[in-house]
A and B are shown apart, each in its own frame.
Chain A
């Protein structure tokens, strides 16, 4: 007979979300990501789907859910680009998995932790995309511009904090 323990961090602090939030927030992120660079071209540096992926993964603290959420959001994002479908899907699957795994171990409600994980995952996302494009797809001329990626990570981190605070209101304790 399985022994149920309620003392682990994972079981105590797992959150769920209403289905509407689970469905609409990623779509809204992808929609905004598609609309904003039209009037403000510099906002293409943002990655709102990545922020949403990280938020759902660390909040649910379930690696399987994190992986699947990341895969779904990444595939949707790929479908709007001219890249092969699966590039962002693979990168965000890995990020969803790692974020959920970290969420089990670390207090992700803390502001400092949120800053660090957003910055770190943004850099990791850029690196994974470079690996997939350069090694897996063999695209010619693939380079990683570290300064640009650091700026991207910083911008994503700044934008992620208010989004996390906003989405915290939609959490439901299990």
Chain B
């Protein structure tokens, strides 16, 4: 027997190694196999050893990369930061308005849900984690994150980003966890088409796409429709964004079903940080309630401001209308062929000059003569044959001519040429 083993030593070693691994595979792949289920304790132990060896190195290299990139991004590459900040401020303002508009509907929705005794699960607590590595194989879509059971994570907890769902925790180690992405072929999730409200099951494919394969052809389902989580799988809370329908095609292997391919909302191929949902509750979280209240208050303030603006506009319209009525009743003060400018007054013009269409007073003359309005003394002061000089009228010097000067001044009295005259004030008593 010894020569046999010596002669076929190489082949025998190969067969022994393959046999051992085949038995190991058979032990791991027990029926029925639950899709995406965690491993048994012995397999987890082997994975734990390997992960415990590899992940510290991954953390180390990732830390170096992070520091270099952080230094570049935060201290060197700051171009367009102001513009970006300005854009973000504008977006925040826009989102605030949108939020305020939706808050009323949300509050009403919650009230109706309470009336119907509808059980809703809201995301209550999350743990932020950083992606530190991948499986390294395009046949296995898993990620490793830097949080584990010491941080309160457990298997089958949902992993999301603000954009949409990412996957679920498959294996949890003390300081690391393995995330099974939704585009892995062993992954699945209960989903709901947002417009048609059709429920379906989402699965990953060998090629790394996410698709729905359990629906028959339906003309209501169109590309571009949003797909949300349905909450039926007890892993992903209801209403989280999954993606949008990219294409619909008949399934050649399973007629009459269709393959509905989705574009994932979260970028599954370049994830940096994720959120692990560690708790849900049937009521809205406190912060969300506060946000909702702020939104409702903003909506109320907007409505009040709109009401005030409307009232002011109405009052202004009414005032204009009254002015128009007065103007219509006094047609003589307005020349329809030569309308006055609205309310633009020339600089230095007093408003009194316009009121009621009063004929403006002439400006006081600098060098009054006998033709100057008001320079003629009153008839009462005239003496037949007396000295009626018009040279120096004190009134004209005061700049205060009589108010009613619409009539032309009376003709000047004939002068006696040879008689020398002296200025005599108009008010001088006779």
Contact = CB atoms under 8 A, between A and B. Distances in A.
List the 9 closest A-B pairs by CB distance, nearest first: A79-B50, A33-B136, A81-B140, A63-B10, A86-B21, A41-B269, A44-B138, A84-B28, A81-B135
Interface in A19-38: 27, 30-31, 33-38
Contacts of A76: 50
B137 interface: yes
Interface of B: 9-10, 13-14, 17-18, 21-22, 24-25, 28-29, 36, 43, 46-47, 49-51, 53-54, 57-58, 61-62, 65, 131, 133-140, 142, 144, 170, 178, 180, 184-186, 205-207, 269-270
A89 B136 contact: no
A85 B24 contact: yes
B10 A97 contact: yes
A136 B22 contact: yes
A148 B43 CA distance: 31
A129 interface: yes
Contact of A82 (B21, B46, B184): B184
Contact of A67 (B14, B50, B65): B14
B136 A27 contact: no
Contacts of B13: 63-64, 67-68
Given A81-B142, A90-B18, A31 B54 contact: yes
Interface in A72-118: 75-77, 79-90, 93-94, 97, 101
Nearest to B142: A82
A165 interface: no
Contacts of B28: 84-86
A163 interface: no
Contacts of A37: 134, 136, 138
Contacts, number: 137
A71 B10 contact: no
Interface string A27-64: 10011011111110100110100000000000000011
A141 B209 CA distance: 13
Contacts of A101: 10
A77 B58 contact: no
Nearest to A145: B207
Contacts of B36: 82
Nearest to B141: A82
Contacts of B50: 76, 79-80
B134 A94 contact: no
A84 B18 contact: no
A142 interface: yes
Nearest to B42: A85
A33 to B, nearest CB: 4
26 contacts: A27-B53, A27-B57, A30-B136, A34-B144, A37-B138, A68-B13, A76-B50, A77-B137, A80-B144, A81-B136, A82-B135, A82-B140, A82-B170, A82-B178, A82-B186, A83-B139, A84-B28, A85-B24, A85-B25, A85-B28, A85-B43, A85-B46, A85-B47, A86-B21, A137-B25, A139-B185
A4 interface: no
Interface in A120-168: 129, 132-133, 136-137, 139, 141-143, 145
Contacts of B53: 27
A75 B170 CA distance: 19
Given A34-B54, A82-B142, A44 B136 contact: yes
Contacts of B24: 84-86
Contacts of A80: 47, 50-51, 54, 133, 135-136, 142, 144
Contacts of A142: 206
B65 to A, nearest CB: 8
Nearest to A32: B136
A90 B22 contact: yes
A14 to B, nearest CB: 14
Contacts of A89: 21
